[in-house]
Structure 1
């Protein structure tokens, strides 16, 4: 299995992918506050690379997050999804304001979108990317070692919180990542 060992390698992988760069450019047109593309779309792309897949593994959605303490209504998120669908109708857009998502995990309110990313269930999922002035920025609260080596472990918040750890275990069983990417090291502790 290949490895991806640095943020620079990750940046190069993303920049070389026209589809991913188009996704980022599309989202950038909305000018959302503190926005990131995160989670599965990046994770799947990297795991496909690690497994030397020629075809992109289908994804359930393209997770777009942002942080706006003022407009917390869920219908605002749906409006952003509709705007993205008008620009790129064949993509499975999912938009979430991290200023309200802490409620799902029973944690303290997040301070930023990256704080929200740090509270995702798995370390290789806790990653975000965005364009700033045509430059690719990466948010990886736990680094990219796990992502780039195909190691799946819970983030500290999910490891330390019994109820959240149960959610982590259920996600591992439900997602069946080992079927699409059999060389992953999935830790259930």
Structure 2
């Protein structure tokens, strides 16, 4: 079982699994060209690619979108983020998927209105990844200019390979976790979803 391998072997297995998703590789290549500070491709498109590989499904099965986080605290205006979003939309226009690009330095400005709970300003992209509703989502990758993969996985990779979804009650409300996991169970019935803590 990959989830019981030493971490260096899990990292190699992660790269091998993600490399089977041609759309993901294309997104990684194109984001690299955009030159966004502190960027990662993150969340569902990563762990769901792994789930697909582990369960012998097509690598892109069930993936709703491709999330790109970056961190630019030099300009917190909507206009600055929107300019990046428009540039990214042009860069990804010919791909048959939705790529969502967001400046994580701005999340605290809109999070409470959308989700009903306040969000302190994030100090980095990594801090934003830390706050996903499930620890399984807390995963980010990018390719460095020299071709090396940079992987951010604060909770490790065992749950990702073992198809375990574990709650991460640090910010997102329980309803977000339960809505996401309900969809995931439909697409990947093999997953084990752990209950939100009482």
Fold in common (TM above 0.5): yes
State how far apart, in whole Å, the 2-side matches of 1:121 and 1:178 are: 16
**Contact 1:38–1:64 (CA under 8 A) maintained in structure 2:** yes
Runs of 4+ in 1 over 4 A off after TM superposition: 2-5
Q: Deviations over 1:48-87 (max 9, x none)?
A: 1121113521432211101111122233333223222322
**Contact 2:53–2:59 (CA under 8 A) maintained in structure 1:** no
Q: Match of 1:39?
A: 43
Say which of 63, 80, 83 aligns to 1:79.
83
State how far apart, in whole Å, the 2-side matches of 1:46 and 1:118 are: 19
Size of the aligned set, in residue pairs, is: 182
Say which of 111, 128, 144 aligns to 1:116.
128
Structure 2 residues not aligned, in runs of 5+: 112-116
State how far apart, in whole Å, the 2-side matches of 1:148 and 1:94 are: 25
Q: Match of 1:99?
A: 105
Assess, with a 3 A threshold, how the Cα gap between structure 1 residues 62 and 55 changes in structure 2: closer, same or farther: closer
The answer to whether residue 167 in structure 2 is matched with residue 154 in structure 1 is yes
The answer to whether residue 134 in structure 2 is matched with residue 125 in structure 1 is no
Q: Match of 2:57?
A: 53
State how far apart, in whole Å, the 2-side matches of 1:7 and 1:132 are: 16
Which has the higher mean CA deviation after the structures are superposed, 3-12 or 141-150? 3-12
Q: Match of 1:64?
A: 68
State how far apart, in whole Å, the 2-side matches of 1:116 and 1:102 are: 10
State how far apart, in whole Å, the 2-side matches of 1:181 and 1:38 are: 19
Assess, with a 3 A threshold, how the Cα gap between structure 1 residues 16 and 180 changes in structure 2: closer, same or farther: closer
